[in-house]
Amino acid sequence: MKKQNAPADIPEIRPGQSIELLKELHILTRDGKLNQDTRRKLKQVYHLYQFIEPLLAEANSLADHGAGKSYLGFILYDLFFKQQQGEEKRGHIYGIETRKELVEKSRELADRLGFERMSFLDITVEESTHSTTLPERIDVVTALHACNTATDDAIRFALTKSARHIVLVPCCQAEVAATMRARKNESLGKTPLSELWRHPIHTRELGSHLTNVLRCLLLESHGYDVTVTELVGWEHSMKNELIIASLRGKPRKNARERAEAILREFNIEELAPRFTY
């Protein structure tokens, strides 16, 4: 396949990037140009990449859950793994997505681009945990905008695979809020803190926040150092909280106890199996 190098008149594009891929991702227009919207999108891509690139230095495998069109996987391969040549050639990306039509399209694109160290599996996160198609250990696990409990499933997968690094951008989170809502009357009589989620919009917002707090405590209880920051502007989404966890091997001593106390305080102890295992 003939390589398409970055146009000289578009200095924003890094040397060696696949122009065909950038067109497929609608970062470049059909005639290979950047307009105001696509220039902003390219900036967002690089902003995301700068967080993940340092984690790939010693990585031989990466699993992307809820991959969709495998936007993230293709960008990481193009910017990082494609550059590994000769004896240094390493790194395999696995895109995990339940929609078969998206998996087939990703396979076709990877073949067309010559991205031979990419695989796409049309299985659930739970199935992927036990699939023989994946190695016993995965170095980096990502899940961007995996809806509701899919982010928690990705965390469980990462812990099972002893992932060195986990990168999460959680999406809609309904389970905690729904549990808080179902027990609201009971909570109102139990604690004045229930005023924090008495109104429906507060229930949704607080439930989303609590979900991510509990996820961070879970990761810390398993020996991960956790950083939480903003992924500004990614896909123009308000769901732009970025959680990065790196395995250090020394669990935070009181992480599980703190999580259990939060579950009790907010009257959602039934969710303990999801956040305190």
Task: Say how many domains are in the chain.
Answer: 1
- Is the overall model pTM greater than 0.85, yes or no? yes
| Domain-embedded: residue 139 | no
Q: Give the pLDDT confidence of 177-191 residue by residue, as tens digits.
A: 999 999 999 999 989
Residue 185 lies in a domain: yes
Residue 81 in any domain: the answer is no
Residue 100 lies in a domain: no
Q: Is 257 among the domain residues?
A: yes
201: in domain: yes
Task: Categorize the per-residue pLDDT at 1 as very low, low, confident or very high, splitting at 50, 70 and 90.
Answer: very low
> 151 with 246: CB under 8 angstroms?
no
pLDDT range class, residue 238, cuts 50, 70, 90? low
Q: Are 264 and 226 in contact (CB under 8 A)?
A: no
Sheet with strand 61-65: strands edge to edge: 118-121, 92-96, 61-65, 140-144, 165-169, 241-247, 224-230
230 domain residue, yes or no: yes
Domain span at 198: 172-277
| 242 belongs to a structural domain | yes
pLDDT at site 87 = 55
Sign of dihedral through CA atoms 219, 76, 127, 151?
A: positive
Residue 2 has pLDDT above 50, yes or no: no
